[in-house]
Structure 1
Amino acid sequence: MKKFLAVFDGFNMSKSTLDYAVQLTKVADAHLVGVFLDEFIYRSYNLVKVIKTYENYGEKMKELDAKDQKKRDAAAQKFQKACNKAGIHFSIHRDKGFAINDLKQESMFADLVVINEFEAFTRNKQESPTWFIKDLLRDVQCPVLVVPNNFKKVDKIVLLYDGGASSLYAVKMFSYLFDSFMEVPVEVVTVKEDAMATSRLPDNKLMREFIKRHFPKASFTVIKGTVKNQITGHLRHHKENELVVLGAYRRSEFSRWLKTSLADILMTELDTPLFIAHL
C-alpha cells in the first residue's frame, strides 16, 4: 500500500489539500498521513506585541497558547472526520520541530506529498510559490503534488515532456502511483522553441511505446514557440480540470525547459494542481 502525506497548518487548514489528498488516496488505494506541522516557535499571534503590551505577558502567552492548541487539535479532528467519511486508511503525525526540516524528513518515508501552494507556516502572507514551497521542492525526497486553493475533481492528466530524463522520470513516477488514472484523458505536451524543428516528439518511437503501455488512450501535442508562453497559454484555455505532471526543480539540475522558473510560473498563473518530481 502506498503512503501519501497531506501537509497542514493547524492554524489555517487548507480545505483543497484535504480534498485533493482524499480523492487521490482513494484513486491509488493508499494510506494517507495527515502531517500537522505544529512548529514550536510558530504561533498564531504576534509574540513581540504581546510582550510589549502586557505587563504579565507570561500569563497572556499561556492563555493564547492554549487557544492555539485548541485550533490545532480541531484541525486534526477535521482531518480524521474527513478520512472516516471517505472510508480511507489514515494516521496523524503532529510534528513539533522546525516545519521544513520535519517535512523533508517525513518525505524520505513517503510516496507522495500533497501541499497547498500558499503554505508558509508563518503569520505573514506570501505570494505563491512561497519560500517554504520553494525550499521543499528543492530537497524533497519524493514527488510532490502542489495544489491551488480551490479543489476541482481531476478529470484530465497533462504530461509535460521535453525529452529530458527529469521530465520522463516525473511521468514514470506518476504512472507508478496512479495507474488507476488510465481511464481519464491523458495528453502528452511538448514545446519546441525552434520554428524549423519537426513536429515529432523527442525520441518519438520510444516515448510513444512507453506511453502506450502506461496510458493507452493518451494523445500527443507538439507546440512551436516559447515554452513558458505556450505551456501557460495551452493550459489556460482548457475546460477540463487538469493535473499537470512535470519534472526538475533542483537548482543543480538542468533541463532545457522544465526548470524551476516554469514550475513557479505555473503555480503563479494557473489554478491547477502540479505533480512535480525530480531525479
Structure 2
Amino acid sequence: MDRLLSMEVFVEVVKTGSFVRASEKFHISSAMVGKHIRSLEHHVGTTLLNRTTRKQSLTEVGRTYFTECERLLHEHQFLDQRISAIKNTASGVLRINAPITFGAEILSPMIGKFLDQHPHVSIDLSLTNEKVDVMHDDYDVILRTGRLENAAYIARQLCNIEMVFCASPTYLEKHGTPESIEALQHHQCLAFKHWRKHSPFYSPDELKPFAFPQARFQSNCGSALLNAALADLGIILQPKMLVKDPLADGSLVEILSAFVPPPRPISLLYRSRADQTLKTQLLINYLIDQFRPSGGYPCIV
C-alpha cells in the first residue's frame, strides 16, 4: 500500500475526526480509509488511533506520528512545487470555490481556455453561497461577493454583479406590476435562501416578501428561482447575468429598475504568494486578465 497516501489519509482523519470525510476527499470507501490506518499501524508496530463507534482519538505514539506525518507531507509538497517551478510546468489539481450563479454562468465558461493553456492542470470547482475559510479550507482560490471582513488573505476585486427585479408577463398581468419596494408586500416573491437571516440590500422590513412565511418558494440556487419565475410563480431579484436571455426574449420583464441595489463586487481571494504553487499563480493572473477592460469579460456582469 502506498505509504505516502496512507499518511495523507491518516492526517485527514485526524484533522476532520471522520473516516467518512477522509473517504470523500480521497474518493475511496470508509473501509479503505481503515485499511490505510491499519497499514500504518502494522508498519510502526503499535496503535495510532483509539477507535470507537462514535469517535477516534490519537494514542501517545499517534500524536507524535501525526506531527511527523504533517512535516513530511509538507516537505513532499514543497519538493513537488520546487520541481514543478524548475520545470516551469504547472501541474496538479487546482481547487476553486465560487458562488453558485457566478461560478456556473461566468467562471465555468472561461475555465476551458485556461485548461487548454495548461494541459497538466486539472480544475476542481465547488459552488456554494456559504462562507468559506480562505486560510483553512482546502481551496487554492475563492471567489466571493460583497464586503470582505478578514485581512489575513489577499483580495483582488474582479468585477461587479448587477442585480435586477423581474417576473413573467403572465404573472404581472394576473397580479399587477409593483411600483415600489413596499408594494412587494402584496406579491409572491421567490426567495434566495442566502438572504434568509439578513440581506446586503434592504432592511428587515423590506426583506419580508423574500422570506417565509410570505415567500412560499425559496432556494439557495438562482437557476431554480429563475425557472420558478419562468413558470409564473412570482418575482425574483437575481443577477442580470442569470436572467439576461429571458429578458431579451421577453420571457421575463424587468420591474422596479429605480429600486435595484448597487452592483455587488466579486473578489478573488487567495493566500500570500509565498504559499502559492505555480499553477495557483497562473490561475490568479489568468482570472485578473480576463476581467480587464480588454479581457473579454465586462467589469459589470
TM-score range, shorter chain: under 0.3
After TM superposition, the score normalised by the length of structure 1 is 0.25
Higher helix share: 2
Larger Rg: 2
After TM superposition, the score normalised by the length of structure 2 is 0.24
